[in-house]
């Protein structure tokens, strides 16, 4: 009977070792997933900032277009005056 209990104890210890290894691996995976999640969140934040900057640049370009056309007309008028026309 003692041999059977000893064998059972060895099996239980082996199962515990395996279970501890699995737990350790799972904890490492949780940490890895948390780091990936944090990175994705940071990338999302940067992407949103870039999109906002692109929108502002497009808005500024839209505002500058009529101003550049007006400046072009002024330069043409000045050129005509200087050129004698």
Question: If you write DSSP's letter for every residue of 5-42 in order, what string do you get?
Answer: HHHHHHHHHHHHHHHHHHHHHHHHHHHHHHHHHHHHHH
Task: Give the whole-angstrom CA distance, residue 40 versus residue 31.
Answer: 14
pLDDT in tens, 31-57: 999 999 999 999 999 999 999 999 999
Query: What are the boundaries of each domain within the chain?
Result: 1-85
Q: What is the pTM of this model?
A: 0.59
Mean pLDDT (whole number) for 55-77: 95
Average pLDDT, the chain: 94
What confidence category does residue 83 fall into, taking pLDDT thresholds of 50, 70 and 90? Answer: confident
């Amino acid at each position: 009977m003692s041999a059977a209990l000893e064998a059972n104890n060895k099996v239980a210890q082996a199962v515990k070792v395996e279970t501890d290894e699995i737990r350790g691996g799972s904890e490492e995976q949780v940490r890895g997933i948390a780091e990936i999640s944090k990175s994705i969140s940071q990338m999302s934040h940067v992407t949103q900032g870039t999109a906002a900057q692109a929108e502002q640049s497009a808005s500024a370009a839209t505002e500058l277009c009529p101003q550049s056309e007006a400046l072009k007309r002024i330069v043409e008028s000045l050129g005509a005056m200087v050129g004698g026309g």
